A and B are shown apart, each in its own frame.
Chain A
Amino acid sequence: MEKITSETKIGVVKDHIPLKYNYTAGVAGDRFLQLLKQGKLQASQCTQCHKLYLPPKIFCKDCFSQLNEWKDVAEDSAYVYSFTSVKKEEGPRELIALVKFDGVEGGLLGRLKSSREEPRMGMKVRPVFKQKSERTGELSDIEYFEKVNY
């Protein structure tokens, strides 16, 4: 069955497919990102099953009701759920964490500010926003999460 012994000898036809996209953030996403620009972190709430969703949604995936209530996410509720260390093609090694919030369904992926201390699973953190003038209404308005001692 083996006909090709060296894959580098296989002839190829080169091509490039240029595609560009303009995505919308959605009804919930647009509001969430505008709030983020103001330095506020809010979750949408299901009044039926009392779940808080972050990032916010306009529907509850479980009871399937429409969500209209929004609540501030308590700043001291954030913790590192899992983390890893990544190296991109350019730049230094970075710590990336999935940050969850007590009592909230979901979480946010973000950079973790390095410190002399090794990060731990469950470590309490808080979001640090960019300077107001630099915010763009994108998730990157949260510059990083940093360890806090409550």
Chain B
Amino acid sequence: MATPRKVCVIGAGLTLFRRRMLETGKELSFEAVRMALDSAGIERKDVDTVVSGSAPDAFDGVHMKGEYLLDGSGAYRRPYSRVFVGGATGVYTPEAAWWHVASGMSEVCIAVAEEKMSPLQPHPAYAFWSIFDHDYERQLGTTLLWIFALEMRRYMAVHGIKEEEIAQVAVKNKKNAMDHPCAQLPANITVEDVMKSEPMVWPVKRLDVSPPSDGAAAVILASEAFAKKLTKEPVYVAGCGWNIDSTYWTDRDLYYPQYLENAGKMAYKMAGISNPRKEIDVAEVYDPFDYKELHHMEGLQLAKKGEAPKLTTRGITQRNGELPINPSGGLLGVGNPIAAAGMMKVCEIYFQLTGQAGKRQVKREVHTGLAQAWGDLMQYSSVFIMRRR
């Protein structure tokens, strides 16, 4: 394989995440991209390509969302495309932008992710009706929550994990979100609060779950030569990985995300990482549900199988811990506008690497950070690693 050229991240921006925003999807995209351009200190005229990422069209209620969002994404009369891998879209979008620049086809590429979930009535979750198999799943009235409950249950059963151990993740992330200016559901809660919250689909309770949201987030990628005109110490894209499991979720062993292990290995290989647990300084892993943070830490080899709850109990994943996980507050605290939520994680790692995370800045020194998202039907993972020299 020819060696791709080095790519840097030069700016990041995001909007508020809220249950309903007045701004349309185009306007949200504009605000995120405008902030990212300002953060990089460049203008749209400096940008030569754009990639937009957004999850199912059914949320916004506008088909061909890529086309719909283009002006607000900064793509007017530029090479442009929309990418879509369900919930994993937010971290996959900067990977698609990376191809643009790494291949030499582009000098500066905007990667923007948008989701406006609030239009769908009576609840955004209704969009998920349309993702299940029409012959084998929809008849029963299958919802996404059922599937996650089956997966959570399987993960708990294989390792003997208690609901209380999983609830610690919601407590940590909602607390971390109190320092995030865009956060929708920051809160100071206890494990008991999570345990006592409204049961949804056993064992999933209200506070185990992230909220649907409106929002957008963006990063700007550029060639090393371009980035060095802006700063002496740019942040580099160190690794990209993506992988998918079978369409048939019933074929998989739900206790462990093998597809994520594969995506992680792909990214680690590119980044020259042989021991992720030691070499990753901070990680934003996808946490639409609290158990998913643990599941994903294990798939990423940041914890051994079944070990992530123990690391959480020992405080290792706290912001001042040895391996801070989701210092932003994650989806559980900041909110879950699907594609934008993944991109929010990429932004957070950029802020952590450049010392711009303010109160959220982790205690340990950070050189290498990882963002990960998960999607399609519980089967896709995208992994994006950034490094500051």
Interface residues of A (CB under 8 A from B): 1-4, 7, 10, 15, 17, 21, 23, 25-26, 29, 33, 55, 61, 81-88, 96, 98, 100, 105-111, 121, 138-140
* 24 contacting pairs across A/B (C-beta < 8 A): A1-B15, A1-B16, A1-B182, A4-B18, A7-B18, A7-B118, A23-B135, A25-B135, A29-B135, A55-B248, A61-B246, A61-B248, A83-B150, A86-B143, A86-B145, A86-B149, A96-B140, A96-B150, A108-B250, A109-B140, A138-B135, A139-B135, A139-B140, A140-B140
* Interchain nearest-CB distance for B147 vs A (Å): 9
Q: Are B136 and A84 in contact (CB under 8 A)?
A: no
* Chain A residues, Cβ within 8 Å of B365: none
* Chain A residues, Cβ within 8 Å of B45: none
Supply 9 further A-B pairs (C-beta < 8 A) apart from A138-B139, A139-B136. A2-B16, A4-B21, A15-B61, A61-B247, A84-B149, A86-B143, A96-B146, A109-B137, A109-B142
Q: Are B201 and A82 in contact (CB under 8 A)?
A: no
Partner of B22 from A3, A23, A26 at Cβ < 8 Å: A3
* Chain B residues, Cβ within 8 Å of A88: 141
Assuming the contacts A17-B61, A98-B250, A108-B250, asked whether A83 and B140 have C-beta atoms less than 8 A apart, the reply is no
Assuming the contacts A3-B22, A106-B248, asked whether A111 and B140 have C-beta atoms less than 8 A apart, the reply is yes
Task: Answer yes or no: B162 CB below 8 A from chain A CBs.
Answer: no
Q: Are B254 and A82 in contact (CB under 8 A)?
A: yes
Chain A: which residue is nearest B31 at the CB level? Answer: A1
A86 to B149, CA, bound (A): 10
Chain B: which residue is nearest A21 at the CB level? Answer: B134
A110 to B242, CA, bound (A): 32
Task: Answer yes or no: B202 CB below 8 A from chain A CBs.
Answer: yes
Assuming the contacts A98-B250, A110-B140, A138-B139, asked whether A81 and B154 have C-beta atoms less than 8 A apart, the reply is yes
* Binary contact readout B110-131 vs A (1 if CB under 8 angstroms, 0 otherwise): 0000000010000000000000
Q: Are A82 and B140 in contact (CB under 8 A)?
A: no
Chain B: which residue is nearest A61 at the CB level? Answer: B246
Q: Are B150 and A82 in contact (CB under 8 A)?
A: yes
Chain B: which residue is nearest A2 at the CB level? Answer: B16
